[in-house]
Amino acid sequence: MTYQDLKERVDYRNALIVLSLLLIGVVSVYSATYDARAAETFHKQLIWIAVGAITLTSIAFVPFRILQLVSLPAYFLSILLLIIVLLLGKTVSGSTSWFNLGVIRLQPSEFTKITTVLALATYLSRSDVSLKKIRNLSVAAGIVLLPFCLIMLQPDFGTAVIYFGMFFPVLFWGGASRFTLVSILAPVATAVAALFGTTPFLISILVFGILLYLTKEDRIVAATVFSLTVMVGISVQFIYERLKVYQQKRIATFLDPNADPLGAGYNILQSKVAIGSGGFFGKGFLKGTQTQLNFIPEQWTDFIFCVPGEEFGFLGSATVLFLFMALLMRGVTLGSTVKNRYGSFVAIGLTSIFATHIFFNIGMSIGLLPVVGVPLPFLSYGGSALLSSMIMVGILMNLYANRKEY
């Protein structure tokens, strides 16, 4: 293969973005574990990066048609693993989500996100499938709801919420009607609004009532969806009372972190202090007081964004956000340019997974969203999460190499 062939087939821009994020991640994990007597964590992260790099490269050069061929078998295998982990898995932090393989632990739900996108793309790319048909829309929803429900049984709300963040953009990309999109968004947004009180709930009901009225000619269907939306909002309190105590605390902390500053709200408050104290230029590498004095427990996992925020300030945080924005833009651009319909859906689905992870992780780090246990791609410590991110990039690079194939 000549240099010109490599230049044509390898997405060097995406590779550079990912390498930059991995470098920031390595520096951040090193800093977060430097005075926490967790050097083993840093060494494990390096090993996972090496494994991920090999996996990424292998997937990037696999024949494109093989990806399509294994999409459905991989999906059903991942569903089987989710069932097995419920029966035989290891419980960590209240969630039965892990296979304990002795030397390593694997979280199958991290990889199921990928296989779900592949299966969904396989179905939606069929010539006889249209998202304007209720039957086809129901099948697409079923492909996503099956792993979603199994993950909720673990329970792992943080991973489960990624599925909604992925499904909605794919529906939009697939040409779903505005009414369909509003119908899916309305119950979720209304439920969230209900957590904030009666006034936000009523405003949400009013807004979505108008949108449903404007986007659907069949008033009976619109009225039915509106009624279901209202019922979902009203049932929020009923569901809240039946959540586990730690889940209730996370929601209560999201609404008011100061309500329990030494308990459930501790991480969010310390995270905001860490990021805010970094100023414009930061305190310097290994000089972040919140990080080095371990004010945030296991900061190298879900709250890793605090490290560049504190030690490298606004410039560090902005650099991370810029790189993530570039990654997402490359994904959307790929989805627009790839000739294969299956590949287009895969690109948008995987990019949406990245976007949802970034949105929720950084949102909870700065106190705008509840703590849901979502890692930051390429930065947070974690073998399964890092490996799944590398696999997704490998698939995107494969799509880039074969973007001209139909």
Q: Is residue 225 situated within a structural domain?
A: yes
**Boundaries of domain holding 177:** 9-401
The answer to whether residues 176 and 345 touch, using CB atoms and an 8 Å cutoff, is no
- Is residue 4 in some structural domain? no
Q: pLDDT at position 93, please?
A: 66
Count H helices, E strands: the chain? 17, 3
Give a yes or no: residue 198 inside a domain. Answer: yes
Task: Indicate the SS3 state at residue 155.
Answer: coil
Tens-digit pLDDT profile for the chain (406 aa)?
566 667 778 889 999 999 999 999 999 999 888 876 677 888 889 999 999 999 999 999 888 889 889 999 999 999 999 999 888 877 776 677 878 776 777 888 899 999 999 999 999 999 888 888 889 999 999 999 999 989 888 877 788 889 888 999 999 999 888 888 888 888 888 887 887 778 888 899 899 888 888 887 677 888 888 888 889 888 877 777 777 776 666 666 656 655 555 555 677 778 888 888 888 888 888 887 777 767 677 777 888 998 999 899 999 999 999 999 999 999 999 999 999 999 999 999 999 999 999 999 999 888 888 777 789 999 998 888 999 999 999 999 999 988 887 7
pLDDT (0 to 100) of residue 406? 75
Q: What are phi and psi of 276, to 5 degrees?
A: -65, -35
Whether residue 406 is contained in a domain is answered as no
* Model confidence, pTM: 0.90
Q: Is residue 2 in some structural domain? A: no
- Whether residue 335 is contained in a domain is answered as yes
Query: At 133, is the secondary structure helix, strand, or coil?
Result: coil
3 state SS of 11: coil
Looking up tokens 């104290």 gives 277
Residue 209: predicted pLDDT: 87
- What total number of domains does the chain contain? 1
